[in-house]
Amino acid sequence: MEAEKTVRESFARIFGGDGDIRCYFAPGRVNLIGEHTDYNGGHVFPCALTIGTYAAVRKRDDRKLRLYSENFPDDGVCESSLDGLVYRTEDGWANYPKGVINEAAKRGYEADVGFDIAFYGNIPNGSGLSSSASIEVLTGEVLRDMYGFDYDQITNALIGQAAENAFIGVNCGIMDQFAVAMGRKDKAIFLDTATLAYEYAPIVLDGVKIVIMNTNKKRGLGDSKYNERRAECEEALHRLQSIVNIATLGALREEEFERCKHVIGDEVLLRRARHAVTENARTIRAVEALAKGDINEFGQLMNASHRSLRDDYEVTGRELDTLTEAAWEQDGVIGARMTGAGFGGCCVSLVREECVEAMTRAVSEIYETKIGYPPSFYVVSVGDGPRRI
C-alpha cells in the first residue's frame, strides 16, 4: 500500500531503518448524520473510512520522544520526553500524540521507555474528516500494542477525547474518537453518546456512492466557535432544567421541547437547543429509514440536517452552503449536508453511481464561480478501525 510505504520510508530517512520498526493505521471518519449532538447527549451515526493516518515506530532505550510527520516536513522533528509532557504552541500537530501519551499515563498506562515515530496521513488536513481523532486513536493503539497495555478500543477513544479536552483545549464530544476506534468495514455506528450504548448498522448502498466534498477552506476547532456553541447549549440546558428533569438536551423529545422551550427566554439559545433536539430525532429516524432500505428518506433527513445547522446552529458558512446547495440541484444526489464541526471542512453526499462524474463537475463549476477556488471530491469507502499492519 502506497501510504504504508511512504511512512516506512519517512521513518528510515529521519530515524534510520534498523531495529524493530512497527507500522500502524487508524482511519478517519465521516458522520453521516447527527451533528453537534455528541456533547449534547444525543445520537450520532458516523462510520470509519479507508483513508486515515499511518505510523512507523520504534522503541528507544531512554525516556525521549521524537515525533515527525511527513504531512508537515518543514516542522522537522519534535523532541519531547515522557517526563513533563506539556502543551507547547510551537509543537503544533505533535501536541495530539503528546496529549494521548500524557492521558494514558494518568490512567496508569505509563510507558517505561520513549520511542521514535513517523506519521503520514492521507486525510486532507482541516477537512473535518477527523485527522485529529485519527492521530489520537492511532497513538493510543501504538501504546496499547508496543507496551502491552490491556485497555480496549472504547478506552482508547476515551483517552483520545480526554487528550483533546484537557491537553489541546477543545471541548469535543466522544463521537470522533469513538468512530475511529470502533470502526468496522461496511458498517456505521449508531451511538447514544449519553450512555455509549451502540450498535452497528450495515451501510448497504447498492448503486450509491458516498462522496465527500471538501470546501478547501481550512479551519481549526480550537479557534472556531465550537466551544462557544457548546457553552450556549449548556446554558439552554441549564434554563430548561428549571422546569424539566433532564441531564442532557438529547434526553428531550421534540414535543417536550415545544412544551417547555419558553423558559429559555433567549432567541439564540433557543435555536441552538432546537438544533440539538431536532438533530437527535432526525438521526434516530435516519437509522430507522436505512434499516428499512429507504435511502431516499435518509437523504431527505440529511438535507434537513444541513438546513438546521445553517439556520439554527449557524455553523455552516458561505463555502459549506454553496457546496451543499449546489449538490442539491444535481441529478442523482439523494442527500447532502455539511459534516464535522463546520466553519469550513467538508460536506458528505449520497450520489447515484452513474451521476457522480456529472455531479462533481457541475458542483465544482458553481463553487469555483462563487467562491473563487475549486473544491475537492473524494469517493470514499467504509473501513475498519485501528490496527497494526
DSSP 171-213: ---SHHHHHHHT-BTTEEEEEETTTTEEEEEE---TTEEEEEE
- Check residue 226 and give its pLDDT: 82
Go through the chain and tell me how many residues it has: 389
Mean pLDDT of 182-203: 95
pLDDT band at 222 (very low <50, low <70, confident <90, very high): very low
pLDDT digits (tens, 9 = 90+) for 45-69: 999 999 999 999 999 999 999 999 9
pLDDT mean over 278-307: 97
Inform me whether the pLDDT recorded for 223 exceeds 60: no
Cα distances (angstroms) measured from residue 141 to each of 77, 82, 149, 385 = 21, 17, 9, 10
The label of the residue with cell 471538501 reads 214
**100-151 confidence digits (pLDDT tens):** 999 999 999 999 999 999 999 998 766 778 889 999 999 999 999 999 999 9
Distance CA(64)–CA(261), nearest Å, equals: 54
Residue 17 has pLDDT above 60, yes or no: yes
- Can you list the domains of the chain with their CATH numbers? 2-27+48-177 (3.30.230.10), 208-380 (3.30.70.890)
The answer, yes or no, to whether residue 266 has pLDDT greater than 70, is yes
Q: Is the pLDDT of residue 242 over 60?
A: yes
- pLDDT class of 225 with cuts at 50, 70, 90: confident
Alpha carbon dihedral 195, 177, 241, 304, in 10-degree steps, equals -100
Q: Is the pLDDT of residue 359 over 70?
A: yes
**Could you give the percent of the chain with pLDDT greater than 90?**
90
pLDDT for residue 218? 67
- The whole-model pTM stands at 0.91
Residues with catalytic roles: 176
pLDDT reported for residue 374:
96
Q: Is the pLDDT of residue 75 over 80?
A: yes
What pLDDT is stored for residue 8 in this prediction?
Answer: 97
